[in-house]
Amino acid sequence: MTDLTDFQKRFLLGSQGQTLYTQKEFEEALTQAKAEIMAIAIQTSKQAIMIERDACAELVNKLADDEDEGETCTALRNAAEAIRNRIPSQRQ
């Protein structure tokens, strides 16, 4: 199927004042929309992972608070920090 010329588009639309898009234009717009949706989905997933990671680290910090100062307390605090910084590039 071939694309319509501007003249053909105007002729087909008459005086309705609507815009007619070709299949190619529609597919390009659809591809763009899909890419934007995927980008938002990826960003949202990353944020959800960071929220969960922070919650886990906070839980480990609370366990460290229950311990007397010492090796176990230090190890728990180090573990909490390691959880938060597991993928440093995600912390922005």
pLDDT tens digits for range 20-30: 678 888 899 99
Q: CA 40 from chain center: how many Å?
A: 4
Q: How far is CA 15 from CA 3, 29, 35, 77, in A?
A: 21, 25, 35, 71
Distance between CA atoms of residues 60 and 45, nearest Å:
23
* Among 62, 44, 55, residue whose Cα is nearest residue 83: 55
Residue 51 has pLDDT above 80, yes or no: yes
- Greater pLDDT, 71 or 9: 71
* pLDDT in the model for residue 16: 61
Indicate the domain borders of the chain: 23-90
pTM of the model: 0.60
pLDDT at 40: 97
pLDDT confidence band for 9 (50 / 70 / 90)? confident
